[in-house]
Chains A and B, each alone.
Chain A
Amino acid sequence: MAFRFSPVFRYTVKGKSMYPEYRQGDWVLVNRLAYFFSSPEPGDDVVFHHPVKDDMKLIKRIDRVSGSRCFVRGCNDDFSTDSRDFGPVDQSDIVGKIVYKGG
């Protein structure tokens, strides 16, 4: 588990709803301070807390923003569970913005 004050977290991608942009096994660096001084924008790829499962974090792309609510979608609509299912994600549930992808 990462040092909780670190401004950057690294995650390994599981699942394929973000294929082909993110493949299973890719790793991503997440800037946790990205939205301290700016707001999420459509097109941003983010990591956020699952709306129901406390111990799970999800990776999705922001589709649109309404106030503090972000509607997220996968890159692979047919196989993605996202805001179409669980509704918008509050900005406070976003861990951060993906700033780098490695594989």
Chain B
Amino acid sequence: MNINDTLTGLIDDGDVHAHCDLFCGVYDPAQARIEAQSVYNSAKIYHNSNDEVEKQRALSIKEERAELVKHHLWVLWTDYFKPKHLDQLDEDIHTLFWKATKAAGEAKKSVDLDDSQRLLDLVDEVGKVFAKTKEVYDYEAVKRNMEHQSK
């Protein structure tokens, strides 16, 4: 080990983050909606199938996708929405995201279609609020596209 390596070892303290989760500035509730639709469809497949293997796969995918819904909701909640949005909007953003995240948790552990539907409804509420902050964004189009893919 040369002196440069030794010095580096003494002072190198790892990484420092110029923190920004999405430098590209791309945020879209469609990501959460797609995964929520997948949760709903998986729950439906579970009920409609007589194949045990398929049922187990449906459960596994439902749980995985419910986690992704949470992730996408958290990115919007903690990174996209800024204090200025809280001032602009009538909706209680924190309560909405809290309810939607809780609904994702419920849909993850449940095969009740009502739980999956509740998750979809809350993600739609998030989408509508998001659309209020983006002039040209059309959340209704996202919703329509997803509803076409409902099994």
User: Interface with A: B4-12, B36-44, B57-65, which one?
Assistant: B4-12
B interface residues, tally (CB under 8 Å): 21
Instruction: Assess the A13–B16 pair: CB atoms within 8 A.
Output: yes
Instruction: Tell which of A3, A15, A74, A85 touches B11, judged by Cβ atoms closer than 8 Å.
Output: A3
A2-B10, A3-B9, A57-B13 known; 7 new pairs, CB 8 Å cut-off, are A3-B10, A13-B16, A15-B17, A50-B17, A50-B19, A56-B19, A81-B79
Name the residue among A2, A47, A60 with the largest chain B CB count within 10 angstroms. A2
Task: Using known A-B contacts A3-B10, A85-B82, determine if residue A80 contacts B15 with beta carbons closer than 8 Å.
Answer: no
A interface residues, tally (CB under 8 Å): 37
B21, CB-defined interface residue at 8 Å: yes
Main secondary structure of the interface of B (DSSP, over half): mixed
CA distance A70 to B10 in the complex (A): 29
Instruction: Assess the B13–A15 pair: CB atoms within 8 A.
Output: no
Measured between C-beta atoms, what is the minimum distance from A63 to chain B in Å? 15
B53, CB-defined interface residue at 8 Å: no
Instruction: Assess the B25–A79 pair: CB atoms within 8 A.
Output: yes
A residues with a Cβ closer than 8 A to B are 1-3, 6, 8-19, 22, 24, 28-30, 47, 50, 56-60, 74, 76, 78-82, 84-85
Instruction: Assess the A14–B17 pair: CB atoms within 8 A.
Output: yes
Q: Which residues of B contact A6 (CB under 8 A)?
A: 10-11
Instruction: Tell which of A8, A30, A80 touches B20, judged by Cβ atoms closer than 8 Å.
Output: A80
Measured between C-beta atoms, what is the minimum distance from B70 to chain A in Å? 17
Measured between C-beta atoms, what is the minimum distance from A13 to chain B in Å? 6
Q: Which residues of A contact B8 (CB under 8 A)?
A: 10
Q: Which residues of A contact B17 (CB under 8 A)?
A: 14-15, 50, 56-59
CA distance A28 to B19 in the complex (A): 16
